[in-house]
Amino acid sequence: MSEQEQSLSELLALRRDKLTQLREIGVNPYPSKFDVDATSSKIIADETIIAEDPSQGKRVSVAGRVMTRRVMGKAAFFNLQDETGTIQIYIRRDDVGTENYNTVFKKLVDLGDIVGIKGFVFKTQTGEITIHAEHFELLSKGVRPIPIAKEVEEDGKKIVYDAFSDKELRYRMRYVDLIVNPEVRDVFRKRSKMVQEMRMFMIDSGYLEVETPILQPIYGGASARPFVTHHNTLDMKLYLRVANELYLKRLIVGGYNGVFEFSKDFRNEGMSRFHNPEFTQVELYVAYKDYNWMMDFVEMMLEHVALSLHGTTKVPVGDNFIDFKRPWPRIPMLEAIKNETGVDLNGLSLEEMMDAARSVGVHVDKTMGKGKIIDEIFGEHVEHKLIQPTFITDYPIEMSPLAKKHHSKEGLVERFEAICNGKEIANAFSELNDPIDQRQRFEEQVKLREKGDDEAMALDEDFLRALEYGMPPTAGLGIGIDRLAMIMTNQDSIRDVLFFPHMRPE
RNA sequence: GAAAGGGUAGCUCAGUCGGUAGAGCAGCGGCCUUUUAAGCCGUCGGUCGUGGGUUCGAGCCCCACCCCUUUCACCA
């Protein structure tokens, strides 16, 4: 018996004893099925369900957890929670049988147990739609007490007492969190809908949803440290993917005009409010398009998502409303920096750029190239100020080894990030499809790696071979699903949009 | 990786100056056939995160460690 169980022993022993008692009186605490034909929310929404003489009205059959209970001798009220919400049940000894009521319901059923109810719908004296039970049946006996909260409405505001609010326990036991905190169920329902809407948007655009390897012999497509694993039979090292970019581009080479994948990616880096070791990204590649086209696409898709989830393009996030209505501003990176800091980095030498960085309080060192310096200044002075959706375009080439050189601006690539609520939510570029240029960029990454940059990309010989067969001009996109879900559901931690955020072992 | 805050009953939380560990809810025993944080009477429940130390005496002070949260750093 573990320590925790020991301290629970009294409550647990009591519950187990109730199981025995149930079996002794011939009640199966875990029956196989129950025919459900109604949900709490539909019953409450249905104006016509209450007959003039309710006892002659339509019968409903519902199932769910007993959440609160008010027993008044030979009759009782309790709240039954199903997936859709909560509905009150009125149960009387004389309707469901003396033993069923006195012994099973009153003595042996606890809060949190799952029960089935059949009966008719009526309104109580205080006007609450309630099911008058004619049949009561235990469907699953819980042997652990659930942390029941109580709530009351005052002046239209809902006040919750004793809510199950300990974040550690909520994350470790998400099943309990979902039982007792209905708003948590809503967040994840919204996240699911968000993904579905994006998926349908891309499918409706004619693109193919695909799957690519998670276990990769060479990881690539992003600057990040990987998780390493081992294949026993092949006796070889494999990496968990940090991105699926290089595989999806191989498929574009193969002749598909548009492919996308919702991809669980893994990065062996720090954890925070914005970072989980595994996270979800959707990547999309579309042939014969460039990054300008992709900006249009992102705008349209995310405007559509906001409308689908909220019925409006304005999404509440913290103290702000974020408006996804297109078009969004498109600002070249150097211009955005000039707007915020007054510093014009255009055409500066490395030395001049370092001075400029210092002049706005950005720390620089000798190892930094122009691209890194620009990136630092942007991160320090611009990014967090961009609350409304904004495209920042034309990134330094050093930071973007897989992006195509800008068609007119020296040292830049055709890349954009969509920034929203001060954070990147999308990253895209005109994909580099010149195999010679790509090889050189990889070689620069290899040099960085040799200098100790363990986030630099590895040279992927097979990917280069694919490019050598010819990849059409292609626009590529990545959207962080968890980050977007945080915005769309107004949550300020990634752990609140992941069912099972990573935790150290108990 | 660093700093700050936290860990006390199943849940939410008090705990003063170091002096026998508390409340509400849940549970348990009663009363109560339209209640709704139902009510009323009674009652059980603790390895105070873990391990050391100081002290006559530690939830409280000291040391080490574990876990969580927040912020910072890196990134998406």
Per-residue pLDDT tens digits for A231-258: 999 999 999 999 999 999 999 999 999 9
**Interface predicted TM-score (ipTM) of this complex, two decimals:** 0.91
Asked if residue A261 keeps its beta carbon closer than 7 A to nucleic acid strand B, the reply is: no
The strand B neighbours among A residues 269-298, by Cβ under 7 Å, are 269-277, 279, 281
Q: Are residues A310 and A413 in the same domain?
A: yes
Token digits of residue A421? 């609520």
What are A194-221's pLDDT values in tens digits?
A: 999 999 999 999 999 999 999 999 998 9
A438 located within any domain: yes
User: Of A115, A140, A165, which closes a domain?
Assistant: A140
| Amino acid A179 CA to nucleotide B37 C1' distance, rounded Å | 19
Domain ranges, residue A158: 150-180
pLDDT at position A399: 84
Q: Are residues A325 and A335 in the same domain?
A: no
pLDDT band at A224 (very low <50, low <70, confident <90, very high): confident
Q: Are residues A209 and A162 in the same domain?
A: no
| Amino acid A69 CA to nucleotide B34 C1' distance, rounded Å | 14
Q: Are residues A68 and A35 in the same domain?
A: yes
A372 located within any domain: yes
Asked if residue A163 keeps its beta carbon closer than 7 A to nucleic acid strand B, the reply is: yes
A506 located within any domain: no
Q: Are residues A170 and A192 in the same domain?
A: no
Q: Are residues A342 and A453 in the same domain?
A: no
* Mean pLDDT within A275-299: 96
Q: Are residues A85 and A234 in the same domain?
A: no
Asked if residue A52 keeps its beta carbon closer than 7 A to nucleic acid strand B, the reply is: no
pLDDT at position A7: 37
Tell me the C-alpha distance between A296 and A306, whole Å: 16
Q: Are residues A336 and A416 in the same domain?
A: no
A279 located within any domain: yes
A188 located within any domain: yes
- Whether the pLDDT of residue A160 is over 90: the answer is no
Angle (CA) A293-A297-A303 rounded to 5° is: 145
Q: Whose C1' is closest to the CA of A166: which nucleotide? A: B68
| Amino acid A150 CA to nucleotide B24 C1' distance, rounded Å | 11
| Amino acid A179 CA to nucleotide B12 C1' distance, rounded Å | 17
Q: The CATH number of the domain where A117 resides is what?
A: 2.40.50.140
**pTM for the predicted model, two decimal places:** 0.93
Tell me how crowded residue A475 is: count the other CB atoms within 10 A of its CB: 24
Q: Whose C1' is closest to the CA of A79: which nucleotide? A: B36
In angstroms, how far is CA A4 from the centroid of its own chain? Answer: 31
Asked if residue A399 keeps its beta carbon closer than 7 A to nucleic acid strand B, the reply is: no
- Structural domain total, chain A: 4
Asked if residue A342 keeps its beta carbon closer than 7 A to nucleic acid strand B, the reply is: no
Highest mean pLDDT among A9-18, A247-256, A440-449: A247-256
The protein residue nearest B30 (Cα–C1') is: A73
The strand B neighbours among A residues 305-324, by Cβ under 7 Å, are none
Q: Whose C1' is closest to the CA of A281: which nucleotide? A: B76
* Mean pLDDT within A65-73: 94
Tell me the C-alpha distance between A229 and A222, whole Å: 19
The strand B neighbours among A residues 209-248, by Cβ under 7 Å, are 222-224
Give Cβ neighbours of residue A61 (< 8 Å, ≥ 6 apart). A34, A35, A36, A37, A38, A116, A117, A118
A145 located within any domain: no
Q: Whose C1' is closest to the CA of A73: which nucleotide? A: B32
User: Of A382, A403, A421, which closes a domain?
Assistant: A382
Q: Are residues A17 and A101 in the same domain?
A: yes
User: Of A140, A160, A194, which closes a domain?
Assistant: A140
Q: Are residues A121 and A109 in the same domain?
A: yes
| Amino acid A162 CA to nucleotide B13 C1' distance, rounded Å | 9
Q: Are residues A412 and A290 in the same domain?
A: yes
pLDDT at position A205: 98
Give Cβ neighbours of residue A298 (< 8 Å, ≥ 6 apart). A391, A418, A426, A428, A477, A479
A505 located within any domain: no
Q: Are residues A302 and A247 in the same domain?
A: yes
Q: Which amino acid is at A226?
A: P
Q: The CATH number of the domain where A258 resides is what?
A: 3.30.930.10
A341 located within any domain: yes
**Nucleotides on strand B with an atom closer than 7 A to protein CB?**
1, 9-13, 24-29, 31-39, 44-47, 66-76
